A = this chain, B = another copy of it.
Amino acid sequence: MKKIAVFTSGGDAPGMNACIRAVVRGAIYHGIEVYGIRRGYNGMISGDIFEMTSQSVSNIVQRGGTVLKSARSKEFMTPEGRKKAYENLMANGIEGLVAIGGNGTFTGAEVFYNEYQIPTVGCPGTIDNDLYGTDYTIGFDTAVNTSLEAIDKIRDTADSHDRIFFIEVMGRDSGYIAIQSGIGGGAEIVMVPETHTPLKKVVSTLKEGWTRSKSSSIVVVAEGDEEGHAAEIAEKIKEQVGDKLDIRVTTLGHIQRGGSPTAYDRILASRMGLAAVEGLMKGHKNVMAGIVNNELLFTPFIDTIKKQKPIHDDLLRMVHILSI
């Protein structure tokens, strides 16, 4: 393998830059030329491809976002789009790809390989931590800490006013951010898509706490909870408890996607970026680099896409015990 390219695709995540840096410097270290592609598959199609040097990734390890920019590409879902992408890669002599993204990204790479036999190794870049094949995804630890800092701030004001706050964090299909920031933030209740928390139970837990003279309560809600968004849930709860409890809602939103990555995410991203390059060199293809139980391993895209990563039961149990 003499020439590879790297791109970021799908929702951005803190640590993507650290990963790009590791891919670029890892490749150069091994004597491989390395190109960057801007805006994911869109740049592959439009030919926004350029050579990267060691210096081009200086001073980016600490930056949020992605210097290669990211996008979701509709055109790549068409055979015409993929044909153009292939031709641009060929024109640049690209023999392998490192794709930093999530399931949508890997699905695209799988289809692309079947048509054009360009091997891809993926790095799991998504704040949601919903990918099978790795204990943690790039960006997750930062997103949890960002949510946690927000919860800490809200706890200050909740406590001062004896209020109950419903705080919505990201996680359409996954409660990972909710559960971790909930435990870390000392939440009384955490509502996640993986398990059903009946509203009756929420009401009784809140009331019980206030009987035991809690002066404030935090309920962390994953955006994908089956009872709806935090605002809707709060409305329903208000209907049941009336004016007795002072209930407020905050939706954290896109702040969870940005910010300087934590140490954990920078190191994880660096390890995975380097692993992806070395994986391509060893002939791996259509697999995602992941770290499970501290060991680096490669999981076929097809498994990362289809298999579910369950949430740790212990964590849900802990929310309950620690909030008594």
- Which residues of A pack against B, CB within 8 Å? 8, 12, 14, 16, 21-22, 25-26, 28-29, 39, 54-55, 58-59, 61-66, 69-71, 135, 141, 144-146, 148, 150, 152-162, 165, 180-181, 183-186, 212-215, 248-255, 257-260, 262-264, 266-267, 270-271, 274, 293-294, 296, 314-315, 318, 321-324
Contacts and interface: CB of A to CB of B under 8 A. Distances in A.
Contact of A270 (B158, B183, B250): B183
Nearest to A60: B186
Given A161-B71, A250-B253, A267 B183 contact: yes
A283 to B, nearest CB: 20
Nearest to A22: B322
A155 B314 contact: no
Given A61-B184, A267-B184, A251 B251 contact: yes
B153 A213 contact: no
A11 to B, nearest CB: 8
Task: Determine which residue in A148, A249, A274 has the highest number of CB atoms from chain B within 10 A of its CB, and name it.
Answer: A148
B157 A263 contact: no
B153 A259 contact: yes
B322 A160 contact: no
Contact of A62 (B25, B155, B250): B155
Stoichiometry, as copies per complex, reads 4
Given A183-B267, A264-B264, A69 B258 contact: no
Given A28-B324, A148-B266, 15 more contacts: A12-B160, A21-B186, A25-B322, A59-B159, A62-B186, A69-B162, A148-B263, A157-B257, A158-B254, A180-B263, A183-B270, A184-B266, A248-B254, A271-B314, A274-B322
B254 A154 contact: yes
Contacts of A274: 318, 321-322
Nearest to A314: B271
Contacts of A248: 254
Given A29-B321, A161-B70, A154 B258 contact: yes
Task: Determine which residue in A155, A160, A318 has the highest number of CB atoms from chain B within 10 A of its CB, and name it.
Answer: A160
B156 A12 contact: yes
Contacts of A324: 25, 28-29, 54
B260 A262 contact: no
A26 B321 contact: yes
